[in-house]
Amino acid sequence: MFFFIATAAGFAGYYVPLHFNALLSLLAYGISDAQSATIFVFCLTFSCLACSLLSLRQGRKNRDLELAIAGGYAACAAAVPLLFLAVPAIYSAARPFLWAVLLLLCAALVLRDENKKAAALVMAASGCLGFLVLFFSLCDNALLALFSGFFGFSWEEQQAQETQGLGWPVLFVPLVGMFLVMLPAATPFLAQPLLSAALPLAGAGQSAALVVGKALYDLCSAFAIGRGRSQGSVMLADAGADVSSVFLGIALGFVSLLCAIAFCKIAPRPGNRTRRVVATAGKAVLACLVLFSCGLWGLLIAVAAAAISEYASRAGTHRGMCLGSLYCPAIIYPLGLAPLLARLVLGY
C-alpha cells in the first residue's frame, strides 16, 4: 500500500520541479511505523528523483539517461555492504580533517567557475546567511526556509546536457558517493571538480548516476556512520528503522525507480505554458508551506535566499554556489570560529 502511494506521489516530480525532501515533508508526516516509513521514504525518493531527472530530457536522449539512472542505482546498491563495512572506519579516521577537504572543494568550485568574483560573492553571502540562520536558530525548520528560497522560488528551465552512455565510470560512481556521504552538507554538485578531473568527458549520465547514488547513500548514512545526511535518513532513524529494513527499502526503491522510468515513457509531456502555470502555482504552495512551518521569520529567510539565488543566476554563476550556506558553517564550526562570529553578530 505504502509502496504504491509513495511511487505514485513521486511521479509529481515529472511535472513539478519539487525536491523529494519537500515532498517527504508534505506527505510523510505522521508515519511512525519503521517498516512503513522505510518503504515510503525509499519509494518516494527514487520515484521522484527519476521523474525529476527524466523531465529535462526528450526523445532519443532519454534512453542513455534511463540506463545511467538505473545503472547508477544498481551499482551503488551493490556497493552498499562496502558502505557499512569500510566507510565507518574511514570516516572515523578522517573526521578531524573533513573541514579541510570541504574547504579545498569549495575553493575548487569557485576557481573553476566562469565568473569567479560572483561565485565567491554568492558562496560568502549564502554562507553568512546559513551561519546566521542555523547558529541562532531564527525559526523552526530553518533548512526548509533556506532551500525553498535558494532553489524553490526561482525555478528556471534547465538546459539539457549531452548524455553519454555510462560505461565503465559506473564503477567510479559508488566510490564518489561514499566519499561524499562522509562530508557534512555535501551534494553531488560539490563533486564536480572531482568528476571532471577523473572523467574529463563526464556528461549528464554520470552526473545523474551520481545524484541517484548519493541519494541512496544519504538514506543509509544514519545507519552506516551515525549521521543523518538527508531528511529521509533522519525520518528513518526517528521511526526506529534498522539495517534489515533499509535493505528492503533499497530493493523496493529500485522497483519504484523502474516504475518511474516506465511512467516517464508513457506520460504526456506538459507544454511550456502548462509548466509555467504549474511552476507558479507550486511557488505559491511553497510560500504557504514556508509560512506555515517556519513563520514570518522563515519567509524573510526564504526571501533573502531567493535574492542571492537570483543574483547568482543574473551574474552568470551556478546556483549551486548557494550551498555555501551549508558548507561555510560546516567549515566554521570545527575551526572554532563560531564563537568569534557570534560575538561579532551580537556586538560583544
Residues 153, 286: contact at Cβ < 8 Å?
yes
- Contacts within 8 Å (CB) and 24+ apart, 81-86: 82/174, 82/178, 83/178, 83/181, 83/217, 83/220, 83/224, 84/220, 84/223, 84/224, 84/243
Residues 134-193 that bind other proteins (CB under 8 A): 134-138, 142
The answer to whether 345 contacts other proteins (rule: CB under 8 A) is yes
Binding of residue 116 to other proteins (CB under 8 A): no
Q: Which is nearer to other proteins, 10 or 130 (CB)?
A: 130
Q: What x-and-dash track marks residues 313-342 binding other proteins by CB under 8 A? A: -xx-------------x---xx-x-xx--x
307 binds other proteins (CB under 8 A): yes
Q: Which amino acid is it at 234?
A: V
Q: Which stretch binds other proteins (CB under 8 A): 15-23, 45-53, 205-213, 306-314?
A: 306-314
User: Which residues in 112-188 belong to E strands, given as ranges?
Assistant: none
Rule CB under 8 A: is residue 291 a binding residue for other proteins?
Answer: no
d(CA 99, CA 121) in angstroms, rounded, equals: 20
Nearest approach in angstroms of CB 141 to other proteins is 10
Cβ closer to other proteins: 155 or 217?
Answer: 155
Least separation in angstroms between residue 190's CB and other proteins is: 20
CB of 132 to other proteins, least distance (A): 5
Which residues fall within 8 angstroms of residue 37, CB to CB, at 6 or more apart?
28, 31, 235, 236, 239, 241
* CA-based nearest residue to 263, from 2, 4, 1: 4
Give the residues lining the site for other proteins (CB under 8 A): 125, 128-129, 131-138, 142, 297, 300-301, 303-304, 307-308, 310-311, 314-315, 329, 333-334, 336, 338-339, 342-343, 345-348
